[in-house]
Chain A
Amino acid sequence: GAVVSQHPSWVICKSGTSVKIECRSLDFQATTMFWYRQFPKQSLMLMATSNEGSKATYEQGVEKDKFLINHASLTLSTLTVTSAHPEDSSFYICSAGAASKGIETQYFGPGTRLLVL
């Protein structure tokens, strides 16, 4: 149980285009999902917390107008990188919150590798 999927697994796009990444909880409902970014050989950095039916909460330094997050249902959150530039190239990982043995735990997706040319 507690499987999270992401689509696409990798994407290459031209500079200036927008890219949408989907995060789905497959066998559970997640009121809260998280989006992380990870650069090579670095740790995961939280970008935003996404709550179903409400606006996302962005971490300091993350541009909300550039990284659009939508959490329209209990099983789907999307991250759209608008007007992508080469510096946005990174590994984007989502997680979904689920209660396990009384503790709220985050289950991670497999990640989406974005390369902006």
Chain B
Amino acid sequence: GESVGLHLPTLSVQEGDNSIINCAYSNSASDYFIWYKQESGKGPQFIIDIRSNMDKRQGQRVTVLLNKTVKHLSLQIAATQPGDSAVYFCAETVSGGYNKLIFGAGTRLAVHP
């Protein structure tokens, strides 16, 4: 079936560096994408989203890039901090109602001092 996948299962970065987490999706009908952060033992926390009519969206220290041509999504975290250490999931869905989210496998981000 169709799924969302990630290129890197783990990512280790130094505090202060920029982090880039990648994600590939396969459902060409998906038009809404979300990045979630999940800390150990907690539920996913919304970070940032993007609709398919955009290719870039910025938040506070985070940027999401969408390349529909190659069906690729990335999350950039600027000046990574120890508090950013968590597992990051991308998710895709088709907008218009509460349609189900398809989650990627997840990437663990480890930030070292």
| Residues of chain A within 8 A of B96, CB atoms compared | 104
Other-chain contact of B44, A6, A45, A93, A97 (Cβ < 8 Å): A93
B49 lies within 8 A of chain A by Cβ? yes
A103 to B36, CA, bound (A): 16
Count of chain A residues with a beta carbon within 8 Å of a chain B beta carbon: 25
Count of chain B residues with a beta carbon within 8 Å of a chain A beta carbon: 23
The 8 A CB mask of B28-50 against A (1 = contact, 0 = none) is 00001010100001111110010
A104 to B34, CA, bound (A): 12
A4 to B32, CA, bound (A): 22
B103 vs chain A, min Cβ distance (A): 5
Other-chain contact of B104, A4, A43, A106 (Cβ < 8 Å): A43
A104-B101 in contact given A43-B89, A110-B43 (Cβ < 8 Å): no
Q: In A87-117, which residues have CB < 8 Å from any B CB?
A: 91, 93, 95, 97, 103-111, 113
Report which B residues bind A (CB closer than 8 A).
32, 34, 36, 41-46, 49, 51, 89, 95-101, 103-106
Q: A43-B89, A111-B41 are in contact. List 12 more A-B contacts (CB 8 A).
A: A42-B105, A42-B106, A43-B103, A43-B105, A45-B103, A93-B44, A103-B32, A103-B49, A103-B51, A106-B98, A108-B44, A110-B43
Q: Closest 8 interchain pairs by CB? A: A97-B98, A32-B98, A108-B43, A111-B43, A43-B103, A108-B44, A110-B43, A44-B103
